[in-house]
Amino acid sequence: MRYLARREYTRLELARKLAPHADTPQQLDELLDELQRRGWLSEQRAVEQVLRVRRAKFGAAHIAHELREKGVTEELIDGALEQFKGGEFDAALAVWRKKFSALPQDARERAKQMRFLQSRGFGMDVIRRVLRHDDEQ
């Protein structure tokens, strides 16, 4: 219960944490089933929490990868990222402004800025829009 009181966990994450304390895998599965039945363990809430925390700093690709690592199903990931796609440009622009704040002057600087945004999980279409933006618009 202490784990669940701190933050939301996916079933896989909680299973990994509790596995050393369970006598048998069946006992662990029964416990996780009971937690889900009571509504104390929810994949949907875990996905929402990850999105809420990560959306200001990372792109859809990074967040999707993190959710897959946590054992979230593709259906939940796709549904969650649909909401996120609309604000991805704004998030990328904010991350870019915080790090660079000036448009690249040459190809080397442009490549550096593109690599940075790619490492944050933003798609090339979003990156191109960020690097083409004009503050007067």
Q: What is the pLDDT of residues 33-72, one digit of tens each?
A: 999 998 898 899 999 999 888 888 899 899 999 999 999 9
Q: What is the reported pLDDT for 22?
A: 86
- Give CA–CA dist 95/92, Å, rounded: 5
0.75 surpassed by pTM: yes
User: Count of CB atoms within 10 A of residue 98's CB?
Assistant: 9
- Give CA–CA dist 22/92, Å, rounded: 43
